Amino acid sequence: MKGDTTMANTMNSALPSSSSSEKRLNIFERYLTVWVGLCIVAGILVGQVFPSLVSTFRSWELGEGSHINLPIAVLIWLMIIPMMMKVDLTALRNVGRRPQGLVVTLVVNWLVKPFSMAFFAWLFFRFVFGAWMTQAEADQYMAGCIILAAAPCTAMVFVWSYLTDGDAAYTLVQVTVNDLVMLLLFAPIIGFLVSGTSSLTVPFGVLLYSVVAFIVIPLATGTLVRAWLIARYGKIWFERGFLPRFAPVTIAALLLTLVCIFAFQADNIVAKPWHVALIAIPILFQVYMNASLAYGLMRWLRVPYAVAAPGALIGASNFFELAVATAIALFGPESGAALATVVGVLVEVPVMLSVCHVCNRTRHWFPKEAG
């Protein structure tokens, strides 16, 4: 989210309990797809007009042989670290509360989501769309989609939970547990699925480097800064006074990251613009399938609506900042894999708003009180 991350920093983790009809996204949140579209245009123009400048930026790496682009790494840290400051490890003491909801979320995120995405990507890119792309392009797009699905949403889910009257405290538990599981499973799942569905070789050392750079370091930094500031100034100041200050920085970092990626991808997109639409189709299939699966299992288990709705949203969304960073580190900023992860950003908001709409209209399916 996920995905999404920059928008979550504009809202407190202790969200107001107003009715759904009164809840609004800010202008950036509501029109994220428009901003992404503008970044596509800006990035392509930069890539076509200033190719030597783009080539220079592309050559800057975070350490020799790391394959991690330095400008993009800095921008992504500006997005991820504030998001990680919202993760509260003390929420783990509530992990046994309503265990059914947490189990469903973990099963969908880690046993279904990456594998269903691998299947849909293989089906569409290898067969359905095989006539419109080369095998090398198909392999890259499959890798990007798998990386996207292996990165579950984190802080962005607080926004979607807010819009569906989800239980904010329990949503925090789900997010925290998934972040910790991600430390262990993110790299092995990507390595196994990308190697198994394509002819690509995943450089495992680079993959582990990415996990350290974009999960371990931001999570450790965010946790330490959170603990120190709350101890010194209090939780209310931290959530309502400190975190919102990062909103302009993280928004700018997201938009600049997208401009950079599309500048690196300019030649590919100009040559084959329809590939963006083709990439979006399997992503949409797996997003709606996993959201429906999580929501259906919650209903079958008679989980309260305030737990079921965020569970469905976690199953649908992605931590796209991490996915973009990992795809760039593994295959380069100009790769098809990087392009596929960015398409996930493009479809994130309209898809998630549609899932929120369905949840709000079907809340009568669930018991109102926790069982």
pLDDT tens, position by position, 97-125? 778 888 999 999 999 999 999 999 999 99
- CATH code at position 353: 1.20.1530.20
Q: Helices 320-331 & 336-361, crossing angle to 10 degrees? A: 160
Query: pLDDT of 168-199, one tens digit each?
Result: 778 878 888 888 888 889 999 999 999 888 88
Mark the ranges of the chain whose per-residue pLDDT is less than 50.
1-22, 370-371
Residue 6 inside a domain? The answer is no
Residue 5 inside a domain? The answer is no
Residue 371 inside a domain? The answer is no
Q: CA angle 200-185-221, nearest 5°?
A: 110
Structurally, the chain folds into a number of domains equal to: 1
CB 315 within 8 A of CB 108: yes
Residue 256's domain comprises 26-365
- For residues 172 and 103, what is the distance between their CA atoms, to the nearest angstrom? 15
* pLDDT at residue 211 in the model: 83
Task: Detail the DSSP E strand segments found in 21-70.
Answer: none
* pLDDT at residue 120 in the model: 95
Residue 344 inside a domain? The answer is yes
Residue 1 inside a domain? The answer is no
Residue 219 inside a domain? The answer is yes
